[in-house]
Chains A and B, each alone.
Chain A
Amino acid sequence: MIGMVPAVNVAALKDTTLLNMAIFGLFVAVTMIIVIRASRNNKTAADYYAAGRSFTGPQNGTAIAGDYLSAASFLGITGAIAINGYDGFMYSIGFLVAWLVALLLVAELLRNTGKFTMADVLSFRLKQRPVRIAAAISTLAVCFFYLLAQMAGAGSLISLLLGISDWGGQALVIIVVGALMIMYVLIGGMKGTTWVQIIKAMLLIAGAAVMTFWVLAIYGFNLSDLLGGAVETANNPAVLNPGMQYGKSDTSKLDFMSLGLALVLGTAALPHVLMRFYTVPTAKEARKSVVWSIWLIGLFYLFTLVLGYGAAALVGAETIKTAPGGVNSAAPLLAFHLGGPLLLGFISAVAFATILAVVAGLTITAAASFAHDIYANVIAKGKADADTEVKVARRTVVVIGILAIVGGIFANGQNVAFLVALAFAVAASANLPTIIYSLFWRRFTTQGAIWSMYGGLASAIILIALSPVVSGTKTSMIQTVNFAVFPLSNPGIVSIPLAFFLGWLGTVLDKKLEDTTKQAEMEVRSLTGVGAEKAVEH
């Protein structure tokens, strides 16, 4: 078996379109029934935003894995390993190690002090209005970048999985995905969204497990032989060594450091991940959630190592690169090679469900931040009742859904892969320093928070705009002009230290001291759970 380069007939993939659609339709039908059943108890704001804080640690941990393992993780990392070998694997390690920041420094303390959003924690002991507005703006920015990346990615997935290559057909599918997402979030709120994540995560991990087992079985459960197969098909021993993608030049090496920094420090500050910690009843369950998600995500990335090298060995990098969908087609092509149309249909449906679920999670986070932070606490100055707030949140869901559809249609075909990296960089620069300082640094003040959040947000966005991903090269978003004065594609290595520095500088230059009573309250509550929001009883 080893050494044989099998032919995968890419044209045959189109014949499976109907099967793919049928399996995806089944997923939608089953999850919709569950969402409707789960949402019967949605009465209050805590129900809508935080699922009544009624999920268990393992359930929430599975949902977090579902939120985190986006199509970019599954298709992107498998494809990156299949084509760039070892460097794709390095990418997945950053995504996993990052969870230790969430486990050690953020999850439990946040659960104990906050209510619904990230801004609840950041504005706890500082001045409400300015800090809440800044936190909401950065939440909305991260959600918007991430959402746009997912919706744009949907277009290229469609061309691969459903064989729809014309612009109008792809636009129609993007509209269907967006409309389904709006329905899930409107009807189900956080409870429904969480169930969609749980089901999707289980299907994704099960599918990847079956494929991993299959690939390993082909190579007699010998990892070394599998790697040998990849080397032989690629005819290049370097696929096993670092450097194929990031080792090209000094700039690309530095770029990888910058990306690594953003991944490791950004994950624990992604608003849609933070919001998931409010769906459990206690800090201890929040800890259990992270433990579960670390195991599931770690296991999944070990699978992608086998799948990536499996695709390199059994399908071959050349076939993958020329298939519709390019790098993203590695996992589907491998599924087709192993299990024929049925396994391809299953994997394709799971990839679709992944986009749907991740988009739903982002939308409810953005809507909660707008309704709870901007509307209820800033516009209505805390006088809005919970019903009005949830009503505003629901309307925001519709607006965001429509924006996502329109953005997705226009971004379709554009090279917007940098948006996911940008979302992580913004989270790590604008959010993480303020989260860490306000939880652990007694002296931290409002001015420090404002400088750090706006400074981190602005520097990350400006540096990306001035980087080669936006202009100047063949792979840029705008190829015709060149204003790329910043050489790196990832701004983290500059913007993250800058935001930490600004938080410190703003604080030491601040003549006003913050309320020490509030600081004491936050510290005691974060560590002991006194007065933490309880689960809703129905």
Chain B
Amino acid sequence: MGNDAPTPDVAASVDFKQVQSTEQFQELRKRHRSFVFPMAVAFLLWYFAYVLLADYAVDFMSTKVWGNINIGLIMGLLQFVSTFAITGWYVSYSNRRLDPIAAEIRHEIEGHEFDKDGNRVSGTAK
């Protein structure tokens, strides 16, 4: 499958504007954006809040909580925890809310693929 290899080119014959305007696709787009955008903003804010505190609130971050463990170390470790948590949350959200609808749209497009003369073009031999 190089540049000019006869890839089964589904894309060439699909009316993508029509697919884009379907309610189903708009729903997928909405679900995707309504998760990833707020989440990206949230973790960036949380990270920069942490950096600002470490930069400009050294005394607060140096407050000992338990033995030699201070607030700075706890907040740093919480950055690890939140990163792992967001990762897990996104995976479960994708599995439940994104993958099924994306697969549905994909099968619909790939299953009903005909060129102008009505010949099936998807899944043609390589």
Residues of chain A having any CB pair with chain B under 8 Å: 44-46, 86, 89-90, 93-94, 96-97, 99-101, 103-105, 222-225, 227-228, 231, 240-243, 246-247, 253, 256-257, 260, 264, 284, 287, 290-291, 294-295, 298, 301-302, 376, 382, 384-387, 389-390, 440, 516-517, 520-521, 523-525, 527-531, 533-534, 536
Contacts and interface: CB of A to CB of B under 8 A. Distances in A.
A516 B35 CA distance: 25
Nearest to B40: A104
Contact of B80 (A46, A302, A384): A302
Interface in B22-47: 25, 28-29, 32-33, 35-36, 39-40, 43-44, 47
A298 B56 contact: no
A444 to B, nearest CB: 16
Nearest to B72: A242
Given A242-B61, A524-B16, A531-B9, A104 B2 contact: no
B2 A389 contact: yes
A161 to B, nearest CB: 30
A121 to B, nearest CB: 15
A96 B79 contact: yes
Interface of B: 1-5, 7, 9-11, 14, 16-17, 19-20, 25, 28-29, 32-33, 35-36, 39-40, 43-44, 47-48, 50-52, 54-56, 58, 61-62, 66-70, 72-73, 76, 79-80, 83-84, 86-87, 90-91, 94, 99, 102, 105-106, 109-110
5 contacts: A86-B72, A86-B76, A302-B80, A386-B2, A527-B102
Contacts of B56: 253
A390 B69 CA distance: 55
A89 B87 contact: no
Given A241-B62, A242-B55, A264-B44, A521 B79 contact: no
B80 A517 contact: no
Contacts of A525: 11, 16
Contacts of B110: 530
Given A386-B5, A523-B29, 15 more contacts: A45-B3, A94-B47, A97-B79, A223-B68, A228-B67, A228-B68, A240-B73, A247-B58, A257-B51, A260-B48, A295-B84, A382-B3, A528-B105, A534-B1, A534-B7
B83 A99 contact: yes
A382 B4 CA distance: 9
B62 to A, nearest CB: 4
Contacts of B62: 240-242
B17 A520 contact: yes
